[in-house]
Amino acid sequence: MSAVGILGANGRMGRALVSVAKEHQLPISAATVRAGSALIGMDSGELAGCGKLNLAFTETSLAAFALADIWIDFTMPEAMLEHLELAVQAKKALVIGVTGLTDSQYAAVQQAAEHIPIVWAPNMSVGVNLLLHLVETAAKVMGQTADIEIIEAHHRFKKDAPSGTAMAIGHQIAKALDRNLADVAVYGREGMTGERDQKTIGFATVRGGDIIGDHTALFADLGERLEITHKASSRSTFAQGAWRAALWLQNKQPGLYSMQQVLGLADLA
């Protein structure tokens, strides 16, 4: 079984990934933090709150990439780009759960995937990826007459809005309806907006407290409405999905893969 390393293992998701690895005895072989961090040398399991793991934090570097075959990255876009370059140099597979990417940053991921196998997804949750499959069906059945709204809620610390998952839901629905999301998305309403254009897809964003992540796709027609909702109560659900993606990447050829492929949902489309 391939050894897996965690980039930014001191972050919220990094700690969740370490904790899941210990709980399920997964093949974790490295846990890195940024250069100069005071955490270097500390046991990663102790910081994650899961007890001693006998795996100390090391500095993120090209040399560190030799410690694992597959790496998981839930850091920030700028850091992810640096990790992407190191992964290509070291010829290591990569699972990326970083959201809020610009077009140029996503293009860098696509370019790197010509050299190494990469799974990128705005959300690693099994349930969310099933939701993406379900909203496509709902859009095909109800989308021509229903008003479509996407509502998402996250913790106060989240830096991008709408969430990457909300945008993925929007793109999935727009694609099913043969619409361009950039042309039909509405990200806010205020004042005298006039009647709603049925072809638009609305987004509503909530930020507060410690909400892990809630997403609802609402199809509202005259006389009835359908709501497809996913609520995450623990970051471990994302960590478990990321680990599933990492182990799926073993022996894969270079390319950009999705969680739909990891979970076999692409075959059901």
Give the residue numbers annotated as catalytic, written as ranges.
Answer: 154, 158
Neighbours of 164 (CB within 10 A): 18
Helix, strand or coil, per DSSP, at residue 227: strand
Instruction: Estimate to the nearest angstrom the gap between the alpha carbon of 244 and the chain centroid.
Output: 13
One-letter amino acid identity for 30?
Answer: A
Among residues 142, 141, 122, the alpha carbon closest in space to that of 132 is found at 122
For 74-167, list the strands marked E by DSSP: 93-96, 117-120, 147-154
Let me know if 212 is exposed, middle or buried by CB neighbors in 10 A (0-12, 13-18, 19+).
middle
Q: Strands across the sheet with 185-186, in order? A: 185-186, 201-207, 147-154, 213-221, 224-232
Among residues 242, 250, 7, 253, the alpha carbon closest in space to that of 117 is found at 253
| Token pair 């293009």 in the structure block, residue | 107
Strand pairing report for 213-221 and 224-232: antiparallel
